[in-house]
A = this chain, B = another copy of it.
Amino acid sequence: MLKSGSIKRVRKLIGEQKAKGHTIGLVPTMGAFHKGHLSLIEKAAKECDFVVVSIFVNPAQFAPTEDYHIYPRDLNRDCRLAEESGTDLVFAPSAETIYPNGYSTYMEIGEIANILEGKVRPSHFRGVTTIVAKLFNIVQPDKAYFGQKDAQQLAIITKMVRELNYPIKVIPCPIVRDENGIALSSRHKYLTPPQMKKAIGIYISLKEGVKLIRSGISDFGSVRSLIIDMLNKYGLKRIDYVSFNKWDSLEPALKPDGKVLISLAVKLGNTRLIDNIIINPDTGL
């Protein structure tokens, strides 16, 4: 496996692959790998000739009050896991390489970036879309892999790719969960065992919501209340949102009509956890 922090060298290595007619897959990450990340890499390795994994804790997507400085970093471990999962090239640049002195070019995505996570984290998606646009220009992949765990991110990147005409296919990847149904997250490292026990309630509550909709309750307002009740039962009381949105425009969804994203964010200590399910009540999926 190759590894570089240099944009110039990465371009050269990828150029050699393109010259051979090889397809390029990109998995953009912030490192701190769990099985969710590795499932993206494995999928990319199956579908592409040459897999590039970027590892970069992107300061632009953290607010000054957030966990940029303590976000878990272990490049050696990540590189080992990346290699085992089928990575051909790790691109791990420094912050100075990505945002040199005087840097001021960002993406502006519109209302879809101001709701849900964007409401709580106002400049988060500006940072996400900017780093992804830069990675797209550096790596020029045929396909780019994003987890559904960050569903709003997936919807926003899909919109950006479509609207800016990037010749790239965005590949959504399913959420990977632990044996208790908890969606894997690098931020679980911040949680105590009792907090992890509470976190089990997140997916159970989401599934309860899905069950209610399947049983014929078509008023999402009621479903929302019942999900919140269930979260509370698990001791999850600091709820940022429980939301129903059309997939993938993220317009508000009031009742079953096409694909619906049910998403939520809760706080446990200083840690925010998010999770979601996308359902299609019309087709029963």
A270, CB-defined interface residue at 8 Å: no
Contacts of A165 in B (CB 8 A): 7, 134, 137-138
Stretch at the interface among A99-107, A145-153, A202-210: A99-107
The copy count of this chain in the complex is 2
Stretch at the interface among A34-42, A74-82, A156-164, A223-231: A156-164
Q: Is the CB of B137 within 8 A of A104?
A: no
In the assembly, what is the distance between CA of A249 and CA of B100, in Å? 14
Give chain B nearest CB distance to A199 CB in angstroms. Answer: 34
Beta-carbon contacts of A103-130 to B below 8 Å, as 1s and 0s? 1111111111000000000000010000
Q: Which residue, A7, A108, A134, has most C-beta atoms of chain B within 10 A? A: A108
Q: Is the CB of A105 within 8 A of B104?
A: no
A260, CB-defined interface residue at 8 Å: no
Q: Is the CB of B160 within 8 A of A105?
A: yes
Q: Is the CB of B163 within 8 A of A140?
A: no
In the assembly, what is the distance between CA of A279 and CA of B7, in Å? 33
In the complex, the chain B residue whose C-beta lies closest to that of A130 is B164
Contacts of A110 in B (CB 8 A): 104-106
In the complex, the chain B residue whose C-beta lies closest to that of A104 is B110
Give chain B nearest CB distance to A62 CB in angstroms. Answer: 18
In the assembly, what is the distance between CA of A126 and CA of B133, in Å? 16
In the assembly, what is the distance between CA of A100 and CA of B126, in Å? 21
Q: Is the CB of B109 within 8 A of A167?
A: no
In the assembly, what is the distance between CA of A108 and CA of B140, in Å? 22
Q: Is the CB of B164 within 8 A of A140?
A: no
A220, CB-defined interface residue at 8 Å: no
The 5 closest A-B pairs by CB, nearest first: A104-B110, A105-B163, A137-B165, A106-B108, A108-B108
A-B contacts besides A105-B108, A105-B159, A106-B107, 18 pairs, CB < 8 Å: A102-B249, A104-B109, A104-B110, A104-B159, A105-B109, A105-B110, A105-B160, A105-B163, A105-B164, A106-B110, A107-B107, A107-B108, A108-B108, A108-B126, A134-B164, A137-B165, A137-B167, A138-B165
